[in-house]
Amino acid sequence: MDEAVGLPDFCRRLPKVELHAHLSGSVSETTIQKLQVKKGVGHEGLQGDTAIGKGETRHLQEPFRIFKIIQDLSDTEESIFMMTEDVISEFAADGVRYLELRSTPRHMPHTGMTPQSYVESILSAIQKCKDREDVVVRLLLAIDRRQSVETAMTTVRLAQEYMLRSPGVVVGIDLSGNPAVGDGRDFIPVLKEAQNCGLKLALHIAEISQQAVAPETSALLSLPPDRVGHGTFIHHNQDLAAVVADRKMPFEICLTSNVKAQTVASYGEHHFQHWYSRKQPCVLCTDDKGVFCTTLSEEYRLAAETFGLTRPALWDLSYSSIDHTFVGEDLKQQLRDRWNTEKEKLFLQTR
């Protein structure tokens, strides 16, 4: 049978790990419509503004404008709970069996939502989905590069608090936001504080070309982070590439996001091939499945068709992703056991 036959079905059935999913960017059109109803906002003229469709590309600044629209629609604890619940359910339906969401705590004085109640709304939705959905969910609190160092420290303090109050659910800190804004070095003391209290670090690094020569990239890599978000231009700098290779830092790879946001010219030119061929740890991710109109299954299919990956190679890529989750060894082993239980059935059903 031709290897391409049944590939989309194989990718959907494949148990998958998602490690780079921004909550607001993962909201689907269906959920956006529900948020509009709750806000009393008309449907006309908005839906096209909240996603970058198939075949479309936009400048990297465009997703950040879209995020603002979605955040304006989700400014209450109720809306945050609903969108988190929907996002988890959609990932589970796509065969994701382990999910790390990331989100920046928000303060909305006009609705009374505080950073604390924001985080608690997400955690409540995770708890509600725990028994209903077939997926393990963990949470990273995000620092936005546009924020002050003081606000970033508040986020780390929140993560420290909820790491203890919600055992095992809050696991790390993300540094993200518009890569053209600010200097990541400003946040290094905050990130070190996070490390010192046991939080893991997943940092957006070298997402745009100028960061490949910026001092902040070397400084952030020296922390070191537990995972690199995007790392799009690291391989353009021999010294940075050597640091990443020596430490075997895992890359969170977001194919469609990078192509649609025009930081990578095409799928075939994506840096995944550079690192994967050198056996650098790589984890396929969606970044913002709602904004970029993708799924994790679609990312696996694209990787297979673009880079000639066989089904066993896709399996290995998914299975090895478990190693890079921000959980303890006991849960990692439970996930490996689950993957192995499903393996034979999966390959029999999709031959």
DSSP codes of every residue in 270-335: -THHHHHHTT--EEE--B-TTTTT--HHHHHHHHHHHHT--HHHHHHHHHHHGGGSSS-HHHHHHH
Q: What share of the chain is helix, strand, coil (3-state, %, to 5)?
A: 55, 15, 30
Known catalytic membership, residue 100: no
Residue type, 104: T
Q: In this structure, how many other beta carbons lie within 10 angstroms of the beta carbon of residue 48? A: 9
Distances, alpha carbon 309 to alpha carbons 268, 315, 345, in Å: 13, 10, 20
Distance between CA 81 and CA 333 in Å, rounded? 30
Cis? peptide before 167, omega within 30° of 0:
no
CB of 303 closer than 8 Å to CB of 16: no
Q: What is the distance between the terminal CA atoms of the chain, rounded to a whole angstrom?
A: 7
Q: Which residues pair with 174 in a beta bridge?
A: 142, 202
Q: Which of 207, 216, 252, 298 is catalytic?
A: 207
Query: Where in the sequence numbering do the catalytic residues fall?
Result: 207
